[in-house]
């Protein structure tokens, strides 16, 4: 398992049973990232699963649900919308960490999850205290270019972002910080 694969898994593992608070704290995103917010949803979006099978180094627009956020970086894991988050189909589930998708198999998660990274003009990942009005489980659409690193990991390098929906969730959920 590559270092990147391990790092991709850590946010999901941390969400299960980690220290949490009742609501995400609203902190402004960096100006470089704020500049990437789109005024409306871009046309022609494809699902995460289709994006993972697409040609590399190709521009694309991808829609999915935020499954993990890397604190301090403009980096998220995007889950295919066809994969229900825990409790989405049954409110009786009572899951207190629906964003971790712990009700799904590891195989399903791997086949339906992609990394999205926003980079500055220098080509380096943008450091930011938060994402612009984005939180876990939000449905977002990202414009960008699909790249593959030397280990075969596919990353969508985002150039534009639009939040299309935020699910209604129980008020007693403990959101990770």
What is the tens place of the pLDDT at every residue in 53-93?
998 898 999 999 999 999 999 999 999 999 998 877 766 66
pTM of the model: 0.80
Query: Quick one: fold of 3-17+25-168?
Result: OB fold (Dihydrolipoamide Acetyltransferase, E2P) (2.40.50)
Percent of the chain topping pLDDT 70: 79
3-state SS string for the chain: CCHHHHHHHHHHHHHCCCCEECCCCCCCCCHHHHCCECCCCCCCCEEHHHHHCCCCCEEEEEEEEEEEECCCECEEEEECCCCCCCCCCCHHHCCCCHHHCCCCCHHHHHHHEEEEEEECCCCCECECCCCCCCCCCCEEEEEEEEEECCCCCEEEEEEEEEEEECCCCCCCCCEEC
* pLDDT band of 174, cuts 50, 70, 90: low
């Amino acid at each position: 398992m590559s270092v990147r694969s391990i790092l991709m898994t850590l946010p999901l593992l941390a969400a299960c049973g980690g220290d949490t608070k009742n609501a995400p704290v609203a902190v402004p995103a960096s100006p470089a990232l704020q500049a990437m917010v789109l005024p409306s949803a871009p046309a022609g979006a494809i699902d995460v699963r289709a994006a993972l099978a697409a040609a590399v180094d190709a521009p694309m627009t991808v829609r999915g649900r935020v499954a993990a956020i890397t604190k301090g970086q403009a980096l998220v894991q995007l889950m295919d919308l066809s994969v229900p988050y825990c409790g989405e189909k049954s409110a009786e589930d009572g899951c207190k960490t629906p964003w971790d998708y712990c009700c799904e198999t590891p195989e399903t998660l791997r086949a339906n999850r992609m990394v999205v990274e926003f980079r500055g003009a220098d080509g380096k990942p943008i450091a930011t205290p938060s994402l612009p009005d984005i939180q876990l489980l939000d449905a977002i659409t990202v414009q960008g270019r699909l790249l593959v690193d030397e280990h075969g990991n596919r990353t969508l390098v985002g150039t534009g972002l639009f939040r299309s929906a935020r699910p209604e969730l129980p008020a007693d959920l403990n959101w990770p910080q």
